[in-house]
Amino acid sequence: MIVFPHCKINLGLNILRKREDGFHDLETVFYPLPWTDALEIIRDPNDSGTVTFSASGFVIDGKEEDNLCVRAWHLLKKDFPQLPAIKLHLHKDIPMGAGLGGGSSDGAFTLKLLNEKFELNIPDPVLINYAASLGSDGPFFIQDKPCFATGRGEILEPVEADLSAYHILMVNPGIHVNTGWAFSQLSPALPTKKISTIIRQPMETWKQELVNDFEGPVVHQYPAIGRIKSSLYKMGALYAAMSGSGSTVYGIFDQEIPVTPFTDPGYFVKKINPSVH
């Protein structure tokens, strides 16, 4: 079976406070977009007793055992010993370290695919708990619709947000932003207006009110990200922002996107129609 784990963008991102467990409370709106990886799982005919992992596309950093797809199989195997050995292939098209949640999506979609393919009958609330143990973005990809997220990002509330009438341009400058470093640069604070309120306003007001707290320090460290955002507004974007802790920047347009000026070596540019999701 093959599934297509997709990315997300953050519509606003406020870091509210640092918690005693070392994590941060935040608020954001997660919005799914149809920029996808591809994930295939088959039963291992050799019955190796574990998961055999292979990958293509973008080179995946780190050890194989740390890959979220592999970890997802081991998580379920502990509680469902009948889960068979598998061969898992992941084709990466979503850049990593880009603020798009690609790794969390791959892990969550692995959980869902294993559940369906091998008829484990795990209800969504339980799958969400498994996904949360893989990463704070994981539960969103189980629920998989626009959500207002709080806590570490795992407390989700469906929200009315519809970008299907718009066009989105995603620009990744090939910069890997370390999430731990990005959090260390912040001074958490409560916002004057909740993101869930702002996104119900006309999009023309978002430029002034809908912010990503990571943008300031990340743009200071990597000025190219700020230049991308400025260029998107010059192109006519109604709203432009960095997603997550970066480095991908997106622009939302109410008309067909013109020829883009982003031709720098190492840049990855993608036009997306949200209605396809």
Task: Indicate the SS3 state at residue 110.
Answer: helix
Q: Taking 90 as the threshold, does the pLDDT of residue 276 lie above it?
A: no
pLDDT tens, position by position, 44-96: 999 989 999 999 999 888 899 999 999 999 999 999 999 999 999 999 999 88
Residue ranges of alpha helices (H) inside 137-240 are: 138-143, 179-184, 195-198, 206-209, 215-221, 223-234
pLDDT tens, position by position, 236-259: 999 999 999 989 999 999 999 877
| Cα separation, 215 vs 140, whole angstroms | 22
Residues classed as catalytic: 8, 137
14-23, 35-44, 104-113, 240-249: least confidently modelled range: 14-23
Q: Taking 80 as the threshold, does the pLDDT of residue 277 lie above it?
A: no
Model-wide pTM > 0.85: yes
Mean pLDDT of the region 108-119:
98
The topology under which CATH files domain 2-158 is Ribosomal Protein S5; domain 2 (3.30.230)
pLDDT tens, position by position, 201-224: 999 999 999 999 999 999 999 999
Q: Taking 80 as the threshold, does the pLDDT of residue 186 lie above it?
A: yes
Strand ranges across the sheet with 268-272: 239-242, 249-253, 167-172, 268-272
Nearest to 179 by CA among 256, 73, 101, 63: 101
Give me the residue spans of the domains in the chain.
2-158, 167-276
CATH of 167-276, one of 3.40.50.1980, 3.30.70.890, 4.10.1240.10, 3.40.50.300: 3.30.70.890
